[in-house]
A = this chain, B = another copy of it.
Amino acid sequence: MTGSTTEGIERLSLNQMTTRGWSLAEAVRGCAEAGIGGIGVWRDKVEEAGGAVAAAKLVHDAGLSVSSLCRGGFFTTPGAIEDNRRAIEEAAALGTDTLVLVCGGLPAGSRDLVGAREQVRDALGELAPYAGEHGVRLAVEPLHPMFCADRAVVSTLAQALDLAEQFPVEQVGVVVDSYHVWWDPELYRQIDRAGARIAAYQVCDWTLPLPADALLGRGHVGDGVIDFPPLSRAVAAAGYTGWIEVELFNQEVWDTPGELTLRRMIERHREHVALR
């Protein structure tokens, strides 16, 4: 790989969900060939690849780094604590310091949003020291409020920071995912507040119209309404120097050959996200 090939994409990472049809081995090969140095991996794909130790070898032998493990959380579901301990161990074995948490929605049949949010805080309290012992940081991801009922009762960056700040900075951080937070009138103030709490910066665009399955509405950077240059500058100004993951849930993207998806990611990253 020559210097010019990777110029401007030194911090770009492929979140595996973007190339959902690829195995971990295929995604690693795709990244290596495209000059992408980071990969955010998913637990099911790691499992398919023979577990965390085998997956780590696969990634590192190709000269790549694991930018994050997706995902822990779902704290409002029975058995969550034990499952999250395993996720922490897997993150450590994979050589990443970032475990992304989708915190879970309302328990089945419940309307107790306040109680569900307390469950999340309590779970973080149980897990944070364990994460710390493993050199892993729990990265609380606020999800768009349209997922509050069924996926994450953590809905804003302010709320995620209110949670994270109850723990040491090396144990609990937050994720800034453009898709989930772009609309927030408090966004820039909260990014500034977040500072060293920012554990991950994930990007994809908000496109219209929303698709029939609201989960799958994420577009390539540049295809939607999010203004990426000021957002990326704000995250940088807060002190974040880590990987920038592209995470798309989008059936059309999933139907596209992975090589083309990576090529588009790179173009769009250079155009909208990489700081000049």
Enumerate chain A interface residues (CB-CB to B < 8 A). 106, 110-113, 117, 144-146, 148-150, 155-156, 158-159, 162, 182-186, 206, 208-210, 212, 214, 224-227
Give Cα A156–Cα B190 distance, bound, in whole angstroms. Answer: 15
User: Closest CB of chain B to A110's CB: distance in Å?
Assistant: 8
A185 touches B225 (CB 8 A): no
Which of A148, A183, A209, A214 has the most chain B CB atoms closer than 10 A to its own CB?
Answer: A183
Contact check, B148 vs A111: say whether CB atoms are below 8 A apart.
Answer: no
Q: Are A225 and B117 in contact (CB under 8 A)?
A: no
* Chain B, residue nearest A106 (CB): B225
Q: How far is the CA of A113 from the CA of B110 in the complex (A)?
A: 35
CB-CB under 8 A from A155, the residues of chain B are 183-185
Asked if B184 and A145 make an inter-chain contact with CB atoms under 8 angstroms apart, the answer reads yes
B113 touches A149 (CB 8 A): no
* Cα A55 to Cα B210 with chains together (Å): 36
Smallest distance from the beta carbon of A35 to chain B beta carbons, Å?
Answer: 28
Complex interface: chain B residues within 8 A of A185 (CB) = 117, 155-156, 158-159, 162
Which residues of the partner chain B approach A145 to less than 8 Å between Cβ atoms? 144-146, 183-184
> How far, in whole Å, are A132 and B182 apart by their CA atoms in the complex?
34
Q: Knowing that A146-B146, A146-B214 are A-B contacts, what are 8 other residue pairs whose CB atoms are under 8 Å apart, sorted by A's residue number?
A: A111-B225, A113-B227, A144-B145, A148-B183, A150-B209, A155-B185, A156-B184, A158-B186
How often does this chain occur in the complex, in copies? 2
The winner among A113, A162, A186 for most chain B CB atoms within 10 A is A113
Q: What residue of chain B has the Cβ atom nearest to residue A188's Cβ?
A: B114
A188 nearest CB across to chain B (Å): 9
**Bound CA–CA A148/B227 (angstroms):** 14
- Give bound CA distance, A159 to B183, whole Å: 12
Q: Which of B112, B146, B159 contacts A227 (CB 8 A)?
A: B112
CB–CB B214/A150 < 8 A: no
Cα A154 to Cα B150 in complex, Å, equals: 24
Taking CB atoms, residues of chain B closer than 8 Å to A226 are: 111
How many Å from the CB of A55 to the closest CB on chain B?
33
Q: Is the beta-carbon distance between A210 and B206 smaller than 8 angstroms? A: no
A91 to chain B, nearest CB (A): 27
Closest A-B pairs by Cβ, 8 of them: A148-B183, A212-B212, A111-B227, A145-B183, A146-B146, A159-B185, A149-B225, A210-B214
Q: Which of B146, B158, B186 contacts A210 (CB 8 A)?
A: B146
Give A250 Cβ to nearest chain B Cβ, in Å: 16
Q: Considering the chains assembled together, what is the distance between the CA atoms of A242 and B57 in angstroms?
A: 65
Instruction: With CB as the reference atom, state the residue of chain B lying closest to A185.
Output: B159
